[in-house]
């Protein structure tokens, strides 16, 4: 059967023209969105900008159920949302962004789900390492926060490589909390502060167990005629999150207000912002409204910090 070459050529040209047209429209809309972002950020920048925003990535599994997708697809879509949110934060001038990627408690989930998340993390970190030269141009330093020894070995190795590859950067920071909970972080900080302060007496110091007392400045232990004082600043220094200032905003997607054992020590004077969007639905306007909420409460938050 002979094919009419004129019809075939016309059809091909039509397809090419449609692709070009779609590309032009996409480029136009992309340019329009970038221009809109710049205008909005310029307005926002006239008021205080948060230095540090922390995110609890909540709602990946619910998003998957909502759209009849597999759980894995929900996590992958959530990763794409994370990339967009990070871009918006850095464009507006937020220096530190912290994400709650994986809790110590998450290890209690189904083994297949834990394995999937670990594989996804490894894949994304290794993909990041392939683009590390571009990342370094923007000066992004990546830090993984938590009990990294609990991670599956391939993930831990990839995380260590990412931290080493970006160690000299200081323009912006991405802190990824994995194998982390505050209930693990705080006792660990107390233990390390005691060891540092007491030296050889570390084994005999007891904090908050009846042998010591809190005097307003720190925990005091008297032992064998000697005195060791563990101050709040000592604990701050030994927190996993001691590498960054306390968050100005803690964002939890999906409308939830639970902190889920995340940054309990660091969020005393922090704005809690809970947009209704599930994490994969988070985007530009959720970031904007969170910053506006912070700006509207800025004077109150600063007052509370000074009283602390």
Domains of the chain (ranges plus CATH)? 50-180+245-307 (3.40.1180.10), 181-207+229-239 (no CATH)
DSSP 245: P
| pTM score, whole prediction | 0.81
SS3 292: helix
Rg value, the chain, Cα:
24
**Residue 201 banded pLDDT, cuts 50, 70, 90:** low
The residues with which 219 forms a beta bridge, in sequence order, are 214, 230
Record the tokens describing residue 223, joined without a space.
């032992």
Q: What is the pLDDT of residues 62-115, one digit of tens each?
A: 999 999 998 789 989 999 999 999 999 999 999 999 999 999 999 999 999 899
* 255: CB partners within 8 A, 6+ apart: 274, 275, 276
- Between residues 22 and 260, which one has the greater pLDDT? 260
Q: What is the pLDDT of residues 239-282, one digit of tens each?
A: 999 999 999 999 999 999 999 999 999 999 999 999 999 999 99
Taking alpha carbons only, the member of 199, 203, 219 closest to residue 211 is: 219
Taking alpha carbons only, the member of 176, 185, 296, 284 closest to residue 248 is: 296
Distance CA 248, CA 217 (A): 24
DSSP 209: S
**Residue 224 banded pLDDT, cuts 50, 70, 90:** very low
**Residue 31 banded pLDDT, cuts 50, 70, 90:** low
Would you tell me how many other CB atoms lie within 10 Å of the CB of residue 221? 22
Instruction: Give catalytic residues, as residue numbers.
Output: 58
Taking alpha carbons only, the member of 48, 49, 52 closest to residue 242 is: 52
Q: Per-residue pLDDT for 210 more than 50?
A: no
**Residue 308 banded pLDDT, cuts 50, 70, 90:** confident
Percent of the chain scoring above 70 in pLDDT: 80
């Amino acid at each position: 059967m002979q094919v009419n070459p004129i019809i075939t050529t016309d059809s091909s040209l039509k397809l090419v023209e449609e692709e070009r047209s779609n590309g032009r429209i996409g480029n136009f809309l992309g340019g329009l969105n970038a221009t809109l972002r710049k205008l909005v950020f310029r307005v926002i920048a006239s008021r205080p900008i948060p230095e540090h925003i922390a995110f609890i990535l909540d709602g990946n599994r619910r998003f998957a159920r909502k759209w009849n997708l597999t759980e894995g697809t929900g996590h992958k879509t959530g990763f794409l949302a994370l990339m967009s949110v990070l871009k918006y934060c850095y464009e507006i001038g937020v220096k530190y962004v912290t994400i709650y990627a994986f809790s110590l408690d998450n290890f209690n989930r189904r083994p297949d789900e834990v394995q999937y998340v670990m594989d996804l993390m490894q894949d994304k970190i290794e993909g990041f390492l392939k683009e590390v030269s571009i990342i370094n141009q923007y000066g992004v330093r990546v830090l993984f926060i938590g009990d990294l020894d609990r991670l599956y070995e391939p993930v831990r190795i990839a995380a260590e490589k990412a931290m080493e590859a970006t160690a000299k950067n200081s323009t912006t920071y991405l802190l990824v909390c994995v194998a982390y909970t505050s209930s693990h972080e705080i006792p660990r900080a107390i233990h390390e502060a005691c060891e540092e302060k007491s030296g050889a007496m570390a084994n005999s110091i007891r904090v908050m167990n009846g042998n010591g007392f809190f005097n307003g400045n720190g925990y005091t232990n008297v032992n064998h005629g000697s005195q060791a004082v563990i101050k709040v600043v000592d604990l701050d220094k030994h927190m996993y999150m001691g590498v960054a200032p306390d968050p100005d905003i803690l964002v939890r997607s999906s409308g939830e207000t639970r902190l889920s054992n995340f940054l309990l020590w660091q969020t005393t004077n922090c704005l809690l912002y809970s947009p209704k969007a599930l994490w994969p639905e988070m985007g530009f306007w959720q970031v904007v409204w969170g910053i506006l909420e912070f700006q509207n409460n800025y004077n109150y938050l600063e007052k509370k910090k000074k009283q602390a």
